[in-house]
Amino acid sequence: MRLLKNFYTVSFFLLITGSQVVAAEKGDSSAAAKTATIAAKSVVQNYALSSFTNSGLLFRYRLGAVSGRSLAAGDDSEFVSTTFSMTPTYSSINNSVRPIFVNGGVTLVILGLERFDELELKATGITLTIDKTAVDVSEASTSGITEATGNGYTLAPYHVFELPDGHLIDVSAGIGKNKLLTVSPTASARPSADRAFVSIGGSKIVALGQASQIQYKGTLSYSMDDVNAYIQSDGTAVAKSSTRLRQISVATIFTKRMEQLSPFIGVALNHNQLTTSGDGVQPREHENTAVLSMGLNFSKEKLYGNITYMKERDKRNVQLYLGLRY
């Protein structure tokens, strides 16, 4: 009788433990997909403004170093350029927001085609971002770690223009897919995910003397990930899951301009609204966070680059890119 009681106790323990592991596996795909989409959205947002911020054109215009507008009545074709660029990017991920932890990185290559008008100070372009995700995902209440890898893409057009009062408006939208592979201690799976985002931002760059500038920026964005239903290697059927992130961000960035290098430091306040659906534990976001960023911009002729360190509550990441514009 005692042996039978112990058997039922052990069986109940294994049943509860097993259900926790399966639940964790169900949320891992959503966490990995969301991580890749946010990285892609950030890269596209930065890229859309790169003709203004990395080249320093807008900064030089504010100082009177670019004076083409008086020539607008004549042939202004020399002030309109079409460029192609390729920008490899790496973004490290360290996310400790409970209940799901994500650590690793996303490697991206953004290919962009842009038409830039120096007289009107506007840019229109389209980007194709190819990304590879490699992260470890774990749940706060369990000890198991899921290795998640993925290959995805995002196609995103954008438009940036200047208002009469000197403010810049940038609009971008993206759509894409992600093919994931998750491997946990108990099962593996190959889910697929659909992604999309839209972003609109307003900013103004103010020159502070001959070698400094400050940028004020506000952004509204919405991103979504849908992980389609799939079956794990152990036969467990996992229902479709989704994440929806609405974010409002306001930021101030101070930049010291040098000949080729421009160090900067900034602070942002983010308001997040994350909704999720699906089985098991799903990722979360803090509703309100402050983000400290610091880094270095690099620009020399056709070559440009950036390294940025960002820290917020329960998150930190480093983004590094080096691009070539033709």
**Segment 124-180, tens digit of pLDDT:** 999 999 999 999 999 988 878 999 999 999 999 999 999 988 899 999 999 999 999
| pTM, rounded to two decimals | 0.84
pLDDT of residue 92: 97
Categorize the per-residue pLDDT at 75 as very low, low, confident or very high, splitting at 50, 70 and 90: low
Mean pLDDT estimate for the chain: 85
Annotate 230-292 with three-state secondary structure.
EECCCCCEECCEEEEEEEEEEEEEEEECCCCEEEEEEEEEEEEEEEEECCCCCCCCCCEEEEE
Contacts of 94 (CB under 8 A, 6+ apart): 102, 103, 315, 316, 317
Categorize the per-residue pLDDT at 85 as very low, low, confident or very high, splitting at 50, 70 and 90: confident
- Work out the average pLDDT over 61-77: 48
Categorize the per-residue pLDDT at 122 as very low, low, confident or very high, splitting at 50, 70 and 90: very high
**Most confidently modeled of 70-84, 263-277, 297-311?**
263-277
Query: Residue 254's Cα: distance from chain center in Å?
Result: 21
Q: Which structural domains are found in the chain, ordered by start?
A: 2-325 (2.40.128.130)
